[in-house]
């Protein structure tokens, strides 16, 4: 019957298990929404080899994505036989963003503690770990100080505080009152300036962790000085809590040979190195050490 009907492809079928079900018949309370968001704590790891990434609307490339609690993250996208690509990663100590374009190779990195204490961020306003919140793993450790605000479009806005070494950030969630998942996340720094935003859509429900995750995410990062980095991420499907022990090796700091290194914790608001000079390339697979006059040091 399929052949004789003249159709050229099978119709796309949805999987009922992955379709989110309504959770609320009326607008939920803060406590009810917190319970739903905190279900994401059941997610210990995420993996997908069916990811597409588009940076600054230039070119869509295929990528692999892996995350494991708390700060272990890797998203590697390569095109043109490895001549160009983006490698964004993080481990418990620090993070990196490596960019290859022909012979030009740049790597930005920082230790988490040093970056979190840096008020001026001309390249990246947040660490790559924030992308996990944008991808839907977003709990609510602090309850809002006021009830949700009803928007004209029917969505609810909830604002919570995120403490940091340089002051309190404000995170605002735009929540679907029927399904209980977020459709937008906004982050403001202690001065009230918006530094990150994510738009989420095409949610799918993962029954094993009782959480809906978006398959399409548009991230906007606003660095000091108004520089905008826009990343569009599409995920066909996830493997939830399936990370094998041997997969942990991918969170090791990558080889820096041939890369121009920039420590994001040592840049001024103008994007120039601070008093501490740029360090030499570190040994392979070792995290770059902060240095003064070429001598590595750990203390302030």
* End-to-end CA separation in angstroms for the chain: 75
The answer to whether residue 254 scores a pLDDT higher than 80 is yes
The answer to whether residue 3 scores a pLDDT higher than 50 is no
Compute φ and ψ for 238, nearest 5 degrees: -115, 155
Q: How far apart, in whole angstroms, are the C-alpha atoms of residue 65 and residue 204?
A: 17
pLDDT in tens, 8-56: 333 344 454 578 889 999 999 999 999 999 999 999 999 999 999 988 8
Q: Tell me the domains of the chain and their CATH numbers.
A: 24-251 (2.50.20.10)
- Write down the pLDDT at residue 107: 93
Q: Which among 249, 203, 222, 267 is positioned nearest to 130, based on CA atoms?
A: 222
Q: Give the percent of the chain with pLDDT over 90.
A: 59
Determine contact, residues 235/132, Cβ cutoff 8 Å: no
Determine contact, residues 108/100, Cβ cutoff 8 Å: no
Most confident of 58-72, 201-215, 275-289: 201-215
- Write down the pLDDT at residue 80: 63
- Which pLDDT band, with edges at 50, 70 and 90, does 109 fall under? very high
Residues 6+ apart with CB under 8 A from 203: 20, 136, 179, 181, 212, 213, 214, 215
- Which pLDDT band, with edges at 50, 70 and 90, does 280 fall under? very low
Q: Which among 27, 59, 100, 54 is positioned nearest to 254, based on CA atoms?
A: 100
Average pLDDT of the segment spanning 118-129: 90
pTM: 0.81
Average pLDDT of the segment spanning 104-131: 92
Where would I find the H helices in the chain? 30-37, 112-116, 130-134
Q: Give the percent of the chain with pLDDT over 70.
A: 82
């Amino acid at each position: 019957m399929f052949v004789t009907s003249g159709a050229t492809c099978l119709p796309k079928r949805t999987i009922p298990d992955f379709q989110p079900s309504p959770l609320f018949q009326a607008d939920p309370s803060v406590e009810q929404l917190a319970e739903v968001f905190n279900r994401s704590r059941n997610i210990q790891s995420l993996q997908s080899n069916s990811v597409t990434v588009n940076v600054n609307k230039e070119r869509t490339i295929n990528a692999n994505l892996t995350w494991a609690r708390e700060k272990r993250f890797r998203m590697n996208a390569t095109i043109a036989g490895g001549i160009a690509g983006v490698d964004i990663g993080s481990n418990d100590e620090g993070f990196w963003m490596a960019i290859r374009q022909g012979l030009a190779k740049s790597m930005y990195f920082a230790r988490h503690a040093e970056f979190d204490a840096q008020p001026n961020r001309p390249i990246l306003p947040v660490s790559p770990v924030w992308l996990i919140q944008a991808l839907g793993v977003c709990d609510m450790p602090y309850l809002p100080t006021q009830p949700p605000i009803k928007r004209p479009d029917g969505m609810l806005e909830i604002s919570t505080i995120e403490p940091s070494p340089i002051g309190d950030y404000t995170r605002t969630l735009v929540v679907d009152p029927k399904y209980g998942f977020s459709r937008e996340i906004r982050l403001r720094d202690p001065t009230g300036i918006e530094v990150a935003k994510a738009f989420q859509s095409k949610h799918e429900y993962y029954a094993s962790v009782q959480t809906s995750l978006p398959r399409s995410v548009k991230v906007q990062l606003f660095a000091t000085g108004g520089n905008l980095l826009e990343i569009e991420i599409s995920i066909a499907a996830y493997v939830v809590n399936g990370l094998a022990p041997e997969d942990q090796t991918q969170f090791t700091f990558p080889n820096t040979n041939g890369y121009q290194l920039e420590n994001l914790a040592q840049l001024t608001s103008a994007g120039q190195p601070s008093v501490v000079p740029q360090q030499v390339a570190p040994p392979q697979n070792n995290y770059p050490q902060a240095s003064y006059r070429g001598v590595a040091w750990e203390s302030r």
